[in-house]
């Protein structure tokens, strides 16, 4: 159990609040897919964490509360010299992007990758990680300003989804 010290509110939370997010059912929903705080209780089979540890965690909703229970496989230690606010803001985006590149898709050199919403927080982080993998990067964006942004970050081609069909590219 984590005593919540900081929570990020991001696009997934807003989508869930509006009822547009996958895998959320039921009548009630408490927003918050990530949080940082201090462990106040540890499950019997948990060996990696102790009461008092500073952590960031990724519950399946519910982080906008005083306390939240999180699967220990989705909890990470936070150094004492790093603020909870900074941690929760960057880790959610960074871990999502890292997992997509290195564990879900296992991107290799010469792979061609399409990144939707490439100018968003996760999208921009993906572009940087994909560059390191030497992938060919295509990114969808909504306007010319974002087109320039993602090309400056490393996308090989930007697709303006309001004007072009990305499936035909």
- In this prediction the pTM is 0.67
Q: Is 132 helix (H, G, I), strand (E, B) or coil?
A: helix
Q: How confident is the model at residue 166 (pLDDT cuts 50, 70, 90)?
A: confident
Number of residues assigned to the chain: 169
CA distance 102 to 1: 29
Dihedral sign from CA coordinates of 18, 23, 29, 35 = negative
Given a cut of 70, whether residue 128 has pLDDT beyond it is: yes
**pLDDT average, residue stretch 99-110:** 94
pLDDT for 28-59, tens place per residue?
778 888 999 999 999 999 999 999 999 999 99
Using CA atoms, how far apart are residues 31 and 86, in angstroms rounded to an integer?
19
pLDDT in tens, 59-76: 988 899 999 999 999 999
Model confidence at 121: pLDDT above 80: yes
Q: Which domains does the chain have, with CATH numbers?
A: 2-90 (3.90.180.10), 105-168 (3.40.50.720)
Does 92 score more than 90 pLDDT?
A: no
Q: Is the pLDDT of residue 25 over 60?
A: no
Of 82, 87, 73, 79, nearest in space to 36 by CA: 87
Q: Can you tell me the mean pLDDT for 113-123?
A: 95
**Among residues of the chain, what percentage have pLDDT more than 70?**
96
Task: Say how far residue 82 (Cα) sits from the centre of its chain.
Answer: 19
């Amino acid at each position: 159990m984590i005593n919540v010290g900081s929570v990020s509110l991001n696009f997934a939370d807003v989508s869930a609040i509006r009822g547009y997010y996958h895998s959320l059912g039921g009548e009630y929903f408490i927003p918050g897919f990530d949080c940082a705080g201090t462990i106040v209780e540890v499950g019997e089979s948990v060996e990696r964490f102790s009461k008092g540890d500073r952590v960031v965690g990724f519950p399946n909703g519910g982080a906008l509360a005083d306390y939240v229970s999180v699967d220990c496989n989705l909890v990470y230690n936070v150094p004492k010299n790093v603020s909870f606010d900074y941690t929760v803001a960057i880790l959610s985006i960074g871990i999502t992007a890292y997992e997509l590149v290195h564990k879900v898709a296992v991107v290799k050199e010469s792979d061609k990758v399409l990144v939707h919403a490439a100018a968003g927080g996760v999208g921009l982080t993906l572009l940087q990680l994909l560059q390191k993998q030497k992938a060919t990067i295509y990114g969808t964006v909504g306007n010319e300003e974002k087109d320039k942004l993602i090309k400056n970050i490393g996308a090989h081609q930007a697709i303006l989804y309001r004007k072009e069909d990305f499936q035909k590219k």
